[in-house]
Amino acid sequence: MITGIPLSWFLILGAALFCIGVFGVLANRNLIVIMMSVELMLNAVVLNLVAFARFMEPARITGKAFAIIVYATAAAEAALGLALTVAIWRTENTVTIEEIDLLQG
Amino acid sequence: MYLGQLIFLIVGCVMVAAAIRVVTSHRIFHAALWLIASFFCVAIVYMLLESPFMAGIQLFIYIGGIAVLTVVAIMVTKDAMSADSRTVSNGWSAAIVAISLFGVMAWTIVQLDLPTEPGMPVSGDSLPLLGAALVDPGGYLLPFEVVSVLLTVVLIGALFLGREH
Amino acid sequence: MTDAWRGVLNVLLGAFAMAIFPLAAVIFLIWEARKVMARMQDRLGPTNAGTYAGPFALFQTFADAIKILTKELIIPTGADRGVFVMAPVLMVAVAIAVWAVIPLGPTGLQVVDLDIGAFYVVAISSLAPFSMIMAGWSSRNKYAEVGAFRAVSQIVGYEIPQVLSLLIPVMLSGSLSLQSIIRAQNVPYILVAPVAALVFFLASAAEVGRLPFELAEADSEIVAGFFTEYSGMMFGAFYLGEFINNLTASVIFSVLFLGGWRGPWVDQVPLLGIVWLMLKALLVFNVLVLFWAAMPRLRIDQVLAFNWKFLVPLGLAELLTVALVDKAMVTAGVTGGIERAAGLLAANLLLGLAVAGVLSQTSRSTRQRQSFRRPPVVHP
């Protein structure tokens, strides 16, 4: 039932998602939005990995194993990043990256 | 036009629209909800790629874990981001960078000679193979264990950061 | 191509029928729960609602539904309208989506037999906190927000022991597909791994927010929790979603630990599978209702401590015990189904005894410490 979608479509979709994430990181100054954009970029990467696993690899394992490890790393990144955000909010009462200038003296 | 292509196009459009709303929406809570929508669309694309296990992981880790954490962080830091605290600086230059990057990527992908049909799978059921590969010393045992150490470290670190002073 | 479209039509029809099923069952279950609770509290419960309520007020729920449909929908000023309206929709959608993989009978009586069925159930259920967060945040109400925070910390925490204990049927049957798990249960897994069944039951009760874990909507503390501001059918949708979640938890428990649709004469008449599954689920559901009627409400810190300090370690210990004992028996050459089940049951009972011993020890020492700390009563 689900045939007829070429690999390039998935790759272009991944590229679009990745570039939206790049825009979000570059254009936003809110720490949490930047983290959400990074999650979008990671998701685009995993999308490519799973697509390659299906099209290029007969056993369909390597890409998924990579994807699972990327997922674990992404979860770790989100947990630690958001814990840091909340910690910064407690001390600085802001989450805008330009106002976090603790080290500027 | 095949049915799969139709589903792919609809889901892809929704995903991209939701992702754009994540990075541009004015209210940060709405941005988080759009983020969940785009994660959900990625899960549907995994179903189109015949990987229901990856779709399940996407729902479980990204929506059930990461998105919940994000939303709770937003609700905890609510005072710092009241209604319209979203500030987009240098939006145009960022848009130019992102669009040109996308142009280069899309052009490269179109130039490549990529397969249009999936390769035949070795066996019908790849899930047990995947599980065995993750704990096989000749396979991915080392990264698997390294990731588990990483998760433990993160658990301790997050507890340390989050404790009451 | 026409075949593809016909396949899609088949799946859609199946999904429609499967979505109707829990909704119809809940109409009966609400009446049943009210009757059982009334008996627990020495009341009669609903007896007659108007003229057409039927015998034993069987149609009470229909009357309630009609009443609630005619009520005004109030959206508070300052609420985030879109999110506010989406929250109850998401609640019911998630509650129904789980039913896609539940096997009601041996063959055919299932929308789709995913080979990751058990994982799908967990993954879809992990979307449930979002409807509560959306409701709590969009209401702009402190009680709603506190309720949402409680719901999230409770549900996310109790997911861990739930998944840990769900791994045991998966491990014993060697498959994530619910249909294969049922077919592997020549001995129901509640007799093979009773500790896992207990952990799963308690975690499910907490996931669906049934007393004593009903902190997210504790009416004596935070009005009604995350759905404080909802009225009319939007409140009805939360109520419905909650009852469907209760039924789903009972059905999943029956599938994983009580043998699902298995029972006498199912091989001859596959439709009997539905009857057996629903009877088992009704049994579990009624235990939940008895909890509801008999238990006091815990405090939020007690609920979280119970999870992190008791259920999670117990789930981990159970997982290790079952894995090691099973592996040891297989290497020792014990391969018969009954012998393996008996060995695992013995290991589980030993684990249960050890846990009971540790619990009584710690509770005694806590009591002693507390009585030691208590200031002496001074009589004038």
Residue C305 amino acid letter: A
Rounded to the nearest angstrom, the minimum Cα separation between C89 and chain B is 15
The set of residues, in sequence order, having a beta carbon less than 8 Å from that of B83 and lying 6+ positions away, is B27
How do residues C308-349 score in pLDDT, each as one tens digit? Answer: 888 898 999 889 888 888 888 888 877 777 777 777 888 888
Return the number of other C-beta atoms located less than 10 Å from residue C302's C-beta: 13
Considering only CB atoms, which residues of chain C are within 8 Å of chain B?
Answer: 1, 4-5, 8, 80, 83, 114-116, 119-120, 122-124, 126-127, 129-130, 133-134, 137, 145, 148-149, 152, 156, 159, 176
Checking if the pLDDT of C235 tops 90, the result is: no
Hey, what are C151's tokens?
A: 């719901």
Using a CB-CB distance cutoff of 8 angstroms, which residues of chain B are in contact with residue A9? 8, 12
Nearest CA to C22 out of C244, C249, C254, C289 is that of: C244
Mean pLDDT of B144-157: 91
- Residue C275 carries which side chain, given as an amino acid letter? V
Distance from C-alpha of A100 to C-alpha of A98, rounded to nearest angstrom: 5
With beta carbons under 8 A apart, name residues in chain B contacting C152: 68, 72
Q: Residue B68 and residue B119: Cα distance in Å, rounded?
A: 37
Indicate yes or no: CB of A15 within 8 angstroms of CB of B102.
yes
Cβ(C169)–Cβ(C110) below 8 Å: no
Predicted confidence at residue A1, as pLDDT, reads 42
Could you report the per-residue pLDDT of C65-116, keeping only the tens digit for each?
888 888 888 888 877 888 888 888 888 888 888 888 888 877 766 767 777 8
* C-alpha–C-alpha distance, residues C206 and C302, integer Å: 12
* Contact in structure between C98 and C119 (CB atoms under 8 Å): no
Arithmetic mean of pLDDT over chain C: 82
In this structure, how many other beta carbons lie within 10 angstroms of the beta carbon of residue C336? 10
Sequential DSSP letters for C213-228? S--TT-HHHHTTGGGT
Looking at this predicted complex, what is its ipTM? Answer: 0.86
List, in sequence order, the alpha helices (H) in chain C.
2-40, 60-69, 81-97, 117-125, 128-138, 142-173, 178-184, 189-192, 194-207, 219-222, 232-257, 272-294, 300-306, 312-332, 337-373
Whole-angstrom Cα distance, residue B163 to residue C302?
A: 18
Query: What HEC string does C81-131 produce?
Result: HHHHHHHHHHHHHHHHHHHHHCCCCCCCCCCCCCCCHHHHHHHHHCCHHHH
Which pair of structure tokens corresponds to residue C205?
């009760």
Q: Where are the domains of chain C?
A: 3-354
Q: Among all chains, which residue has been given the structure tokens 């609809």? A: B10
Token pair of B46 as six digits? 């995994």
Query: For residue B118, is the peptide bond before it cis, meaning its omega torsion is within 30 degrees of 0?
Result: no
pLDDT in tens, A13-71: 999 999 999 988 888 878 888 888 999 999 999 999 888 888 877 667 888 888 889 99
Find all residues with CB under 8 Å of C38, minimum gap 6, and list them. Answer: C44, C45, C46
Instruction: Look at residue B147 in the predicted model and tell me its pLDDT.
Output: 92
> Residues 40 to 59 of B: which have CB under 8 A from any A CB?
42, 45-46, 48-51, 53-54, 57
Which tens digits make up the pLDDT trace of B77-133?
A: 776 555 445 566 677 888 888 889 889 988 888 888 777 776 666 555 677 888 888
Whether B67 has its CB under 8 Å from any CB of chain C: the answer is yes
Residue pair B123/A46 in contact (Cβ under 8 Å)? The answer is no
HEC states along C123-160?
HHHCCHHHHHHHHHHHCCCHHHHHHHHHHHHHHHHHHH
- The residue in chain A having the minimum alpha-carbon distance to the alpha carbon of residue B37 is A40
The two structure tokens encoding residue A69: 């490890």
Residues of B in contact with C127 (CB under 8 A): 59, 63-64
Check if the beta carbon of residue A22 is closer than 8 Å to that of residue A42: no
Q: What is the pLDDT of residues B26-70, one digit of tens each?
A: 788 888 889 999 999 999 898 888 788 888 889 888 888 888 888
What is the reported pLDDT for B38? Answer: 92
Instruction: Give me the architecture of the B1-103 domain, per CATH.
Output: Up-down Bundle (1.20)
- Rounded CA-CA distance B40/A82 in Å is 21
The number of beta carbons lying within 10 Å of the beta carbon of residue C309 is 11
Which chain C residues touch B60 with a CB distance below 8 Å?
Answer: 119, 122-123, 126
Tell me how close the Cα of B30 comes to any Cα of chain C, in angstroms: 9
Enumerate the residues of chain B whose CB falls inside 8 A of the CB of residue A61.
Answer: 126, 129-130, 133
What does DSSP assign to residue B62? Answer: I
B94 vs A54: CA distance, rounded Å: 33
Q: Contact B49/A67, CB-based, under 8 Å?
A: no
Distance, in Å, from the CA atom of C105 to the CA atom of C273, rounded to the nearest integer, reads: 5
Cβ of A29 within 8 Å of Cβ of B99? The answer is no
pLDDT at B143 over 80: yes
Q: Which residues from C are below 8 Å from A1, CB to CB?
A: 4, 7-8
CA trace torsion C216, C222, C223, C225 (10° rounding): -30
Specify whether the CB–CB gap between A95 and B85 falls below 8 A: no
- What is the model's pLDDT at position B125? 64
Mutation site, C113, C116, C132, C316, interface B, largest B CB count within 10 A: C116
How close B87 gets to chain A, by Cα (Å)?
A: 6
Dist CA B71 CA B30 (whole Å): 10
CA A24 – CA A47 distance, rounded (Å): 19
Q: How far A1 CA lies from chain C's nearest CA (Å)?
A: 6
Question: Using CB atoms, which residue from B3, B59, B60 is nearest to C8?
Answer: B3
Contact: C83, B56; criterion CB under 8 Å: no
**Residue boundaries of the structural domains of chain B:** 1-103, 130-165
- The pTM score is 0.86
C271-274 contact pairs (CB < 8 A, 24+): C271/C105, C271/C109, C272/C105, C273/C103, C273/C104, C273/C105, C273/C106, C273/C109, C274/C104, C274/C105, C274/C109
Q: Which of 83-112 (B) contact A at CB < 8 A?
A: 85-91, 93-95, 97-99, 101-102, 105-106, 109-110, 112
Chain B partners within 8 Å of A22 (Cβ): 94, 97-98, 101
- How near does any CA of chain A get to the CA of C4, in Å? 6
